[in-house]
Structure 1
Amino acid sequence: MKKYDYLIVGAGIFGSIFAYEAKKRGKKCLVIDKRSHIGGNCYCEEVEGINIHKYGAHIFHTSNKKVWEYVNKLVEFNRYTNTPIVNYKGEIYNLPFNMNTFNKLWGVVTPEEALTKIEEQKKNAGIEDPKNLEEQAISLVGTDIYEKLIKGYSEKQWGRDCSELPAFIIRRLPVRFTYDNNYFNDKYQGIPIGGYNKIFEKLLDDVDVKLSTDYFENREELGRLSERTVFTGMIDQFYNYKFGTLEYRSLRFENEVLENQNYQGNAVVNYTEREIPYTRIIEHKHFEFGDQEKTVITKEYPSEWKPGDEPYYPVNNDKNNELFKKYSELAKKEKNVIFGGRLADYKYYDMHHNIHNALSAVKKEFKEK
């Protein structure tokens, strides 16, 4: 006799929502995670009364009304708006690149002047059909912004020359010819009041959870507990790296508690010069408008992923995408395993995408329209 209807590997967004929805449908789930906490990369750790985004900044944003309503039934959100800034050798610029950025860099005032400047630089660079990140960036914002605010940051982030990186990476970067400092175009945005842990506590309330449990070290034993498995880990590891190892970029975080109340005046400051080894500094209290006496900052250092590190960003070049296809074909043949989440799909997801995907997987599993 099986004890559970579902074994869910991973207590992040996809796994937790699947467990929550399956439980509502009368199913019994066991959620396991190799970490000592629930919440996946959204997990917050309290330090000096401040919710620290332990695995990097997470700002919830979406234009999907159903997803927004779904999360707001779980927890109340504040009005935080993501307005990061860029520090290049002590010069401060707005990100996303907008009229404030163009004005400070070139002294232009109108959108027409900014467009003319960008077109002039694009023409001088001789780019007609962008083939890589460098060419795509220059096509979007010109050579000045590329050299100062994109090149160094991107090469630190990905550990590769911009001419070797695919063009699609930079297409996510918003460029606006308005004086609007809001990074996201999405209709809804905010941070859960009290931190992201509250969402996962609600999702996994009254669900059996086993932490500090490595699926691969206990695979046979765990497999005997359930009829079906929901797997949110690395798909190549699931198949014992049969075709080879998929590549990722990882991150190392360096936290500091500071005695002053306000270190940088903003939640996120990107450092774009190549000589500074970290890509950004996060000051966590600003996500929740904190007024604590102390502050906590985190410096993010990108690195090449190796076994044992946390995989953060899939390297979706042609080589890795072809390798993933092979694993994906195997996954499609599985009768009792549901794959989901960024590691199983080998794709970078924003949080709202992962929620939508999890809800879609639930509908498919329970044959609902």
Structure 2
Amino acid sequence: MLKSRNYDFLIVGAGLFGSVFAHEATARGKRCLVIDRRNHIGGNVYTENIHGINVHKYGAHIFHTSNRNVWSYINQFAEFNNFINSPIAVYGNEIYNMPFNMNTFSKMWGVRTPAEARAKIAEQIEELGITNPANLEEQALSLVGHDVYEKLIKGYTEKQWGRDCRDLPAFIIKRLPLRFTYDNNYFNDKFQGIPVGGYTPIIAKLLKGCEVLLNTDYFDFITANPKISNKIVYTGMIDEYFNFCLGHLQYRSVRFETEELDVDNYQGNAVFNYTAREVPFTRIIEHKHFEFGTQPTTVISREYPLEWKPGIEPYYPINDEQNGKLYVEYAKLAQNEKGVIFGGRLGQYKYYDMDKVIEAALCVVKQEFKE
């Protein structure tokens, strides 16, 4: 039962963008109704507690930012630990550190110094003689040479995209960061960590004072309640909002296989990437390591990329040239949609890290309230 028949904002999606906006609007005295078609708050940052382990149900979410204002903002709602993302890559029986750094190069070639590693990569690039890369494969080879590409990029990328690297455009990989230091810290950002207790409590605090309806489809709801709010904040798929009138934007999705194991430590690290094409999943996440857990059991998730189709969850916009042009046309429709604000990864068809989602939501708040 709704508490009101007229809200200042109907916020579609209880993920990070919608929740930040709802929090800020509520703090300014606005009445907010938040709806979500899932049975829980949090969107893709939702974490579920399984026997004391906070499981990232929709993939690993590691908070990192160099924006001090965003870091200060999110720390109002949680204490963060000092987790550093240092993924491991598995290629056959070989194990490499990520990101590509001196530990990676030393294991791959037996080199010890940055000069030796640079010379090895330069030698391979020169042998290939690629001057005008025609596709992603040639682009990657021209940046890192064939050893790093074949073992750590090719198979993983093809699984992620569901396409051969030679069929992907070169501009997808504009650069590949090579670090000539013995440093396995994946992110260069000044601030990073995992919220103690997971992400769901953060969302719950952000939504305090808002009315929340779960298991609620926007299109059914707005048909039944056409004048429920003065404005709408829409964080769903922008093409779906317009009933796909210009065609479907493309997404990649992920299927998760999560299981609890009767061991205290399965792989010794939070993230293992499986880079060989013949391994069907891209990575295994062991969730307890995000919070340095000591529980007697563990929970792991295998991630299987797949092509998005209606009825499954869209995760990653495919930001190639074709989809970019189509999104521009949808964005024009959005600009003319009075009383509707489009935000978030799906509403703006853009891959956002969490800090950028918060930054974007706060920017919209300033624009909306003319601050």
TM-score (norm 2): 0.97
Tell me the equivalent position of 2:156.
Answer: 153
Of the candidates 98, 111, 114, which is equivalent to residue 111 of structure 1?
Answer: 114
Specify the alignment match of 2:25 in structure 1.
Answer: 22
Q: 2:367 aligns to what?
A: 364
Q: How does 1:60-75 map to 2 (within 5 A)?
A: 60-75=63-78
In the alignment, which residue of structure 1 is the partner of 2:289? 286
1:2 deviates by: 5.5
Which of 229, 236, 239 is 1:236 aligned to? Answer: 239
How far the C-alpha of 1:236 sits from its partner, in A, is 0.3
Secondary structure in 2 matching 1:301: strand
Determine helix, strand or coil for the equivalent of 1:81. Answer: coil
CA drift at 1:142: 1.3
Using the alignment, how far apart are the partners of 1:102 and 1:223 within structure 2?
Answer: 60
Residue 172 and residue 299 in structure 1: after superposition, are their counterparts in 2 closer, same or farther (change >3 A)?
Answer: farther
How many angstroms apart in 2 are the aligned matches of 1:17 and 1:166? 35
Aligned residues of 1:84 and 1:270 also touching (Cα < 8 A) = yes
**Which residue matches 1:205?**
208
2:353 pairs, out of 339, 350, 353, with 350
Displacement after TM superposition at 1:128 (Å)? 2.5
CA drift at 1:277: 0.2
CA contact (8 A) 1:10 1:233 kept: yes
SS at match of 1:80: coil
Q: Is the 8 A contact 1:215 1:222 kept in 2?
A: no
Amino acid paired to 2:335 = K
What is the number of equivalent residue pairs in this alignment?
A: 368
Q: Where in structure 1 do 4 or more consecutive aligned residues deviate above 4 Å?
A: none
Q: Supply the AA of the counterpart residue of 2:212.
A: V
Normalised TM-score (structure 1): 0.97
Q: Distance in 1 between the 2:145 and 2:227 partners?
A: 58
Q: Which residue of 2 aligns with 1:271?
A: 274
SS in 2 for 1:73: coil
Which secondary structure state, in structure 2, belongs to the residue aligned with residue 264 of structure 1?
coil
- CA deviations over 1:294-325 (Å, ceiling 9, x no partner): 00110000000000010011111111111111
Structure 1 match to 2:60: 57
Alpha-carbon distance in 2 for matches of 1:222, 1:117: 65
Distance in 1 (CA, whole Å) between partners of 2:161 and 2:224 is: 38
Aligned with residue 337 of structure 1, among 335, 340, 353: 340
Q: Counterpart in 2 of 1:102?
A: 105
The whole-number CA distance in structure 2 between the counterparts of 1:25 and 1:306 is 39
* Cα shift readout 1:23-73 (whole Å, capped 9, x = no counterpart): 111100000000000000000111121111000000000000000000001
Please tell me whether residue 261 in structure 1 is matched to residue 264 in structure 2. Answer: yes
2:301 pairs with 1:298: yes
After superposition, what is the alpha-carbon deviation per residue over 1:248-270, rounded to whole angstroms, capped at 9, x for unaligned? 11100001111110000000000
Supply the distance in 2 between the matched residues of 1:286 and 1:171 (Cα, whole angstroms): 32
Question: Pairwise mapping of residues 170-209 of structure 1 onto structure 2 (< 5 A)?
Answer: 170-171=173-174, 174-209=177-212
**Following TM superposition, by how much is the alpha carbon of 1:166 offset from its aligned partner in structure 2, in angstroms?**
3.2
Deviation readout 1:140-178 (Å, 9 max, x if unpaired) = 321101001110010011101112223444447532110
RMSD across aligned positions (CA): 1.3
Kindly indicate whether residue 298 of structure 2 is the aligned counterpart of residue 313 of structure 1.
no
Indicate the residue corresponding to 1:328 in structure 2: 331
Asked whether 1:39 is paired with 2:10, we answer no
- Give the match for residue 133 of structure 1: 136
Deviation, 1:344, is 0.8
1:84 is aligned to 2:106: no
Look up the SS of the partner of 1:74 in the other structure: coil
Show structure 2 runs of 5+ residues with no match. none
User: Shift of residue 224 of structure 1?
Assistant: 1.3
CA distance in 1: counterparts of 2:170 and 2:52, whole angstroms: 41
Q: 1:353 & 1:172 partners in 2: Cα distance?
A: 21
* CA–CA separation in structure 2 for the residues paired with 1:147 and 1:82: 23
Cα deviation, residue 137, structure 1: 1.8
Write the distance in 2 (CA, Å) between the matches of 1:78 and 1:288: 7
Post-superposition offset of 1:90:
1.7
Deviations, residues 171-225 of structure 1 (Å, cap 9, x unaligned): 4753211000000000000000000011101100121000000001222234311
Distance 1:284 1:173, change over 3 A: farther
> How far is the alpha carbon of 1:114 from its aligned partner?
0.9
Q: 1:223 aligns with which of 217, 226, 229?
A: 226
* Partners of 2:144 and 2:176 within 8 A in 1: no
Question: Partners of 2:237 and 2:135 in 1: how far apart?
Answer: 27
Measured in 1, the distance between the counterparts of 2:12 and 2:321 equals 28
Query: SS at the partner of 1:359?
Result: helix
- Cα separation, 2, equivalents of 1:348 and 1:10: 17
Shift of 1:340: 0.4
